[in-house]
Amino acid sequence: MKNKFLISFLIFLSLGSIVVANDLEEATGLYNEAIDLYKQDEVERSLELFNQAIEIKPDFYEAHYNLAQILMSLDKDEEAFKVLEKLVKLRPDDYESLYNIGRIQHKRGYLLSAHEYLSKIPKSAPQYESARLLISKIEKRQLELNLEAKIKEHKVIVDSLGKIKGIELEEISAPSGVATDGRGNIYVASFTENVIYKVSTSGQKKVFSKSALIKGPVGIAIDKNDNIYVANYSANNIVRITPDWQASIFADVEKPYCIFYDSEHNRLYVTAQSINKLLKFDI
């Protein structure tokens, strides 16, 4: 087994209490013996001694750290999760442990919990980019699960071979663009009604926006702040609708059709049919 992750610990005797110093010395002795046993592949005995060291000195960070690393290497995820939680309590800025908790919870299928822990990692941390990649996977999987739930709750349209052709959520006149927000709600544009409908995760349909600015909506997209962008084909513009239903003209575009939001660069791409161009807008 690899042991490169084991970290050493030195005793500092400048403690104010002899009792505390004695406890530290005893805990450190067990700790160092645990490292030696691990190097000899005496893994179970090594785990026992790390736990004994922690019983004597509950805030023994290094013992918690090594214990967690060994448990993770053995795929003992539930036990590792509990130890990692203690590590984060001892050192809230231990972003390595936060990332490992998120990774374990994702592996165990606890997506919301994983997302919560990973979101606490700041941009300044070395683990930030890895955390963002995992968050993206979690959000994608959550959307898939939401869709699976909708399939179970609503009428499924199948062809003669039994293949799924669509899901009948609610009847919408001349539906055109469709997009989802970060919570799994679905937004559908009605070209003939000049309306943006919202279909909740429970399948309930309601009018989200019937602004006078919306005229012949086709494509729609939603940014990371849940602002909705509508390609107004008949009005030759892009309309932005905020989460509190405030609509305004975002940009003038001749016959906008498809619209796509690039979350990585916070950017909109719009196809303009009348001029045969793809347009880019930084948000």
Size of the chain in residues: 283
Average pLDDT over all residues of the chain: 85
d(CA 144, CA 142): 5
pLDDT at site 10: 42
Does residue 51 have a pLDDT over 90?
A: yes
Does residue 147 have a pLDDT over 80?
A: no
Classify residue 275 by its DSSP letter: G
Domains of the chain: 18-144 (1.25.40.10), 170-282 (2.120.10.30)
Query: pLDDT-derived band of residue 226, with 50, 70 and 90 as boundaries?
Result: very high
pLDDT at site 220: 96
pLDDT at site 71: 95
Element (H, E) at 198: strand 195-199
Handedness of CA 137, 243, 283, 231 (dihedral sign): positive
| pLDDT tens, position by position, 157-200 | 556 665 555 555 556 778 899 999 988 888 999 999 899 998 88
| pLDDT tens, position by position, 86-123 | 999 999 999 999 999 999 999 999 999 999 999 999 99
pLDDT at site 3: 40
d(CA 68, CA 105): 14
Handedness of CA 202, 205, 206, 209 (dihedral sign): positive
Rg (CA), the chain: 27
Average pLDDT of span 225-248 = 94
Strands 237-241 and 228-232, by their bridges, are antiparallel
